Amino acid sequence: MSSSPTRVKRERRSVTFVLLLLFCLFTGVFFFLRSPYFHIREFRVEGLGRVSREEILARCGQDSPSIFAFDTEKAEDLIELCPWIQMAEVWRELPGTVAVRVTERTPVAFMPVGDDLWLIDAEARVLGKDDGTWTGLVALTGPEVSATPGQFLDAGTYGWGLKALATMGPVAREKLTEISIQAGEASLILDDGCRVLLGKDTGDIARKAAALDSVLRDLHDEGKIAERIDLRFEKVAIKLRLIEPLDHVTGGTLTKDDDSEAR
């Protein structure tokens, strides 16, 4: 019976020692993780093309120098506010590197607004003013809007036109110069002046795109030029432009409308 109090005291001392040891251990780890060894010393940025490294670093700026206190999700959100950035991935690489990988947006069209031309990507985001360095873009026209970098155009108005652009086959895409949106209906302007009527978005743009490429191939093979191609209905209607030679004096060509035909 006399040994029981002694055993209790020993157990209490052991528990106290273990707790003290754990406290010292956690305190040491805490201060070690906050030591300069884990301060951010490098930012590695991948995927840059249009956007400067300096802009990415500025958007990553946070108050704490510790890599563990660096908020990667906040950094991603701030980077993606840049009009030219589609997606950003940010992660830590111990002991002191923050890695950033960005995916930049690519313009597919330009929109005239006032005296300026604005670059638009496939998601209808306004990227910035056209500086003339991009080629192969088509004009996107429609109801008058204002434009600021980072703004998303109204999807109900311009989304249909961009969807049609993304679905066009290689023949039509090569000839396409403008997409016009009026009253919810889309039409295409080709490089020979032909207007292609797509109508409203009825969920069958893939069929219309395939039909358009087929018609354009046939017209090319037959040496004909269309004034208008109407794809709004199941049966394609084509209004041809008839080209006739002028007299031998002028040596030119005469263009006039021919009768419409359906395919």
Q: How far apart are CA 95 and CA 172, in angstroms?
A: 53
What per-residue confidence (pLDDT) applies to 222? 94
Q: What is the pLDDT of residue 252?
A: 42
* Residue 251: pLDDT over 50: no
- pLDDT, mean of residues 129-141: 95
pLDDT confidence tier of residue 62, bands split at 50, 70 and 90: confident
Whether residue 198 contacts residue 232, with contact meaning beta carbons closer than 8 Å, is answered with: yes
Q: Name the more confident of 7 and 136.
A: 136
Closest by CA to 138, choosing from 107, 115, 170, 113, is: 107
> CA nearest 221: which of 171, 177, 259, 257?
171
pLDDT at 211: 98
Across 246-260, average pLDDT = 47
Tell me what pLDDT residue 253 has. Answer: 38
CB atoms within 10 A of CB 70: 17
Strand 237-245 to 253-262 pairing: antiparallel
Structure tokens at 44: 């590695």
Angle between the N-to-C axes of helices 53-60 and 72-79, in degrees from 0 to 180, rounded to the nearest 10: 130
DSSP 119-169: EEETT-BEEEE--S---S-EEEE-S-----TTPBPPIIIIIHHHHHHHH--
- Of 13-22, 85-94, 166-175, 183-192, the range with the lowest mean pLDDT is 13-22
- 186: Cβ contacts below 8 Å, ≥ 6 apart: 160, 161, 164, 179, 180, 198, 199, 200, 201
Query: Which residue would you say has higher pLDDT here, 41 or 245?
Result: 41
pLDDT at 23: 56
Average pLDDT over residues 207-223: 97
Across 192-213, average pLDDT:
97
**Percent of the chain scored above 70 by pLDDT?**
79
Please, what are the domains in the chain?
37-104 (3.10.20.310), 107-262 (3.40.50.10960)
Which tens digit of pLDDT belongs to each residue from 17-44?
Answer: 566 655 555 555 554 445 578 899 999 9
Average pLDDT of the chain to the nearest whole number? 87
pLDDT digits (tens, 9 = 90+) for 228-238: 999 999 999 99
